[in-house]
Amino acid sequence: MPEPTVVEVSAAWAPPAALLLLTLAWAGACLDGLLGPAPGQGRVRALRRPLTETARLLRQPRRTLVGADVMLWRIGGAGLVLVALLMVAVVPLGRWTLADLSVGIVWFNALDVVVWALVWLAGWGPNAVHSLVGGYRFLAQALAYELPLMFALTSPAVAAGSLRVADVVAAQHTVWFVVWMPVAFVVYCLAVAGFSVWGPLSPAAGADIAGGVLSEASGPDRLLLLGGRYALLAAGAAFAVPLFLGGGAGPLLPGWAWVLVKTVLLLAALVAVRHRLPTLRPDRFVEVGWMVLLPLVLLQVLFVSVIVVGGS
C-alpha cells in the first residue's frame, strides 16, 4: 500500500469542517438521548431532544447572579466549542487536512490544557458555591488525567518519529498503533472523557453538587457548555483516528469515509460509556491517575521506545 500523502486545503474549507464536527456532536447528543431516555419519554422524543433542548435554551433568558464575574463566565462557557473546533484543524480527513502542522500532536495537547482554564472559569464566573466546587473538582481531576494523557500522546509520536499527524498516519500503514499500544489508547480515551467532563470523569458537573459547573448556566451559555462537551468528545474521537486507528486506512471505502466511520464508532463508544460506567469519585480517581495510570502509560512508552530502537 502506498503511503498516504496529506495535502493542506485552503482555509475556505474551515466552515464545512466546523459544520461536520458540530454534526458529529449533534449525533453524539442524539445517541445519548436514545441510550438513556427520560422516564415516560419515547424513543422518538428522546431522539428529538437535542433539537427541542437547543430551541428551549436559545429562548431562555439568562440568569443574573449577584457578584458574578460575567466576562470570565462567558469566556469559560463559549470556549469549549472553540477549542474543539481548533482541535480538529489538524485531523486529516483522508488526504485533506486544514493545517498540516509539524507539531500537530503538541497543538492538540496545548488545546486540551486550555480546557482546564475554561472549565475552571465556567465554575468561578457565577460566584456560586456548587459551581465553584465543580471548577475545583475539574482541576484536581485534570491533574490526574493530564500527565497520563501526555504520555499516551507521546507513544504514537515516538513510534512514528514525528509530531506531525500525517507522519503518524503514514507510520501505521502496516499495523495500527492501537494494536501494539493498547494502554496508551485506553488512557487516551479516558482522558477524552476527562476533558469533555463526561461519563466516569464528570463529577465536575455531578448531580451531587447540583450540576457543578453547569448548575448556574442558563440560556445560550448552558447550550454552549453542553454542546461544547459533545463537540470535545467528537474532536477527541476524531483525533484518535489518525493517532491510533490508522487514519483513513481500510478496504473499499475512500480514506475520508473511513476516518468518518471510525470517528463515529469511537464517539458512539464514548457516549455509551456514560450509560455503562458509574461516575468516579474525584478523590478516588486522583490517586488512581497518579499511582496506576501514570506508571502503566510510562511502561507503554518504554515498550514502544524499545521496539522502535530495536527495530531501526
Partner 1 sequence: MLEAIVFWTLGAVAVAAGAAVFKVDSMARATYALAVSFVAVGLALLLVDLHYVGLVTVLMMVMEMAIMAVYMVMFMGMNPALMPMSMVHGRRTALVVSVGTFLLLAAGALLVPWPSRRDAPPVDVTAALGEALMGSKMLVMITVSPVMLATIVAGIVLAAPRTRYDRFGDDLRGHPADDPQPGGVGRR
Min separation Cβ 116 and partner 1, Å: 4
Window contacting partner 1 (CB under 8 A); options: 45-53, 139-147, 209-217, 230-238: 139-147
The distance from CA 293 to its chain's CA centroid, rounded to whole angstroms, is 18
Residues in the chain: 312
**Stretch 59-88 residues interacting with partner 1 (CB under 8 A):** 69, 71-72
d(CA 41, CA 242): 38
CA distance 226 to 284: 25
Stretch that binds partner 1, among 98-106, 208-216, 234-242, 250-258 (CB under 8 A): 98-106
Cell of 303: 515498550
Cβ nearer to partner 1, comparing 73 with 198: 73
**Residue 298 found at the interface with partner 1 (CB under 8 A):** no
Nearest to 89 by CA among 195, 16, 25, 162: 16
DSSP 45-105: HHHHHHHHHHHHHHHSPPP--TT--HHHHHHHHHHHHHHHHHHGGG--BTTEES---TTHH
User: Which is closer to partner 1, CB of 130 or CB of 262?
Assistant: 130
Residue 5 DSSP label: P
Strands (E), the chain: 7-8, 96-97
- Using CB under 8 A, pick the residue from 57, 85, 93, 121 that binds partner 1: 121
The piece of 207-215, 227-235, 277-285, 294-302 that touches partner 1 (CB under 8 A) is 277-285
Residue 107 or 258 with smaller CB distance to partner 1: 107
Between 239 and 285, whose beta carbon lies closer to partner 1?
Answer: 285
Q: Between 8 and 69, whose beta carbon lies closer to partner 1?
A: 69
What gap in Å lies between CA 5 and CA 11, rounded to an integer? 19
Residues of this chain that interact with partner 1 (CB under 8 A) are 69, 71-72, 101-103, 106-107, 109-110, 113-114, 116-117, 120-121, 124, 127, 136, 139, 142-143, 146, 163, 280-281, 283-288, 291-292
